[in-house]
């Protein structure tokens, strides 16, 4: 499911216009992004949480030449699924 399909499903589920559903989704994603940039964690009980995780600098290898390369430290967003979401996914095993 891509963003357009998600907006359509949200509009149908809430019985609102597609434009309003898109504005709502965009607003939610912006708020989550702003909080992560500010170093905050965003948690939805049962669904999961978003947070920023740090990656240490490390040495990697160029797959073509085998030469060592330095990979700088970075911050990456991370999502951890909550118990309710995990249970729902596990309950749906075999339905695909």
- CA 44 from centroid of its chain's CA atoms: 12
Distance CA 39, CA 89 (A): 29
- What average pLDDT does this structure show over 51-76? 95
- CA-nearest of 83, 89, 88 to 48 is 83
Question: Stretch 8-30: mean pLDDT, rounded?
Answer: 97
User: How high is the mean pLDDT of the chain?
Assistant: 94
Domains of the chain: 3-91 (4.10.520.10)
| CA 79 remoteness from chain centre | 6
| Residue 46 reports pLDDT greater than 90 | yes
The pLDDT of residue 71: 95
* pLDDT of 73 above 70: yes
């Amino acid at each position: 499911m891509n963003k357009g399909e998600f907006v359509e499903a949200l509009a149908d589920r809430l019985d609102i216009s597609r434009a309003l559903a898109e504005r709502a989704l965009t607003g939610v994603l912006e708020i989550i992004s702003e909080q992560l940039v500010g170093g905050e964690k965003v948690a939805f009980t049962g669904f999961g949480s978003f947070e920023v995780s740090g990656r240490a600098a490390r040495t990697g290898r160029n797959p073509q030449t085998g030469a060592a390369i330095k990979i700088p430290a970075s911050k990456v967003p991370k999502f951890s699924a909550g118990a309710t979401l995990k249970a729902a996914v596990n309950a749906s095993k075999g339905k695909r």
